[in-house]
């Protein structure tokens, strides 16, 4: 239950940060979370899932309000891939960015402060 609260909270932080600050808030929020939860085994996985949920939610929100479908179709044609593939890669980018940042911060924090 506590893990779901961490996941939901970090998802909201990443979504809000991306909405108002841009994509770079994903690694910043994930790194802060990874450093804060350095001794928890699931910190990297939590950051990765939170980023995927946040960006997936933002894409769904934009799809309901704006021309995301046309934009996705245009970029899909430019990059020679389907619309679904492009959306999956977008969410995967956020997830991998968050996982890398959380893992690096977690590792650095564990080097500095012993268990």
Query: What is the residue-wise DSSP string for 64-90?
Result: HHSSHHHHHHHHHHHHT--HHHHHHHH
The two three-digit tokens of residue 85, written as one number = 């593939």
Q: How far is CA 74 from CA 80, 81, 89, 93, in A?
A: 10, 10, 15, 19
Instruction: Rounding to the nearest 10 degrees, give the CA dihedral for residues 80, 55, 105, 33.
Output: -170
Q: Is 22 left (phi over 0), alpha (psi -120 to 50) or beta?
A: left
Q: Could you read off the pLDDT of 35-67 as tens digits, one per residue?
A: 999 999 999 999 999 999 999 999 888 877 777
DSSP characters over 97-114: HHHHHHHHHHHHHHHHS-
pLDDT for 79 beyond 90: no
The band of 115, judged by pLDDT with boundaries at 50, 70 and 90, is low
CB 91 within 8 A of CB 52: yes
The two three-digit tokens of residue 39, written as one number = 């001794």
52's CB contacts (< 8 A; 6+ apart) are 91, 92, 94, 95
Share above pLDDT 70 across residues of the chain, in percent, rounded to a whole number? 98
Number of domains in the chain: 1
Give the range of the structural domain holding residue 47, as residue numbers without chain letter. Answer: 2-112
């Amino acid at each position: 239950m506590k893990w779901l609260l961490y996941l939901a909270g970090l998802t909201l932080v990443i979504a809000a940060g991306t909405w108002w600050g841009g994509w770079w808030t994903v690694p910043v929020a994930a790194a802060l979370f990874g450093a804060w939860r350095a001794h928890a085994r699931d910190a990297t996985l939590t950051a990765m899932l939170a980023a995927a949920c946040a960006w997936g939610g933002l894409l769904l929100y934009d799809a309901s309000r704006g021309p995301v479908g046309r934009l996705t179709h245009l970029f899909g044609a430019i990059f020679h891939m389907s619309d679904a593939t492009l959306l999956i890669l977008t969410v995967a980018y956020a997830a991998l960015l968050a996982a890398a940042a959380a893992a690096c911060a977690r590792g650095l924090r564990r080097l500095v402060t012993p268990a």
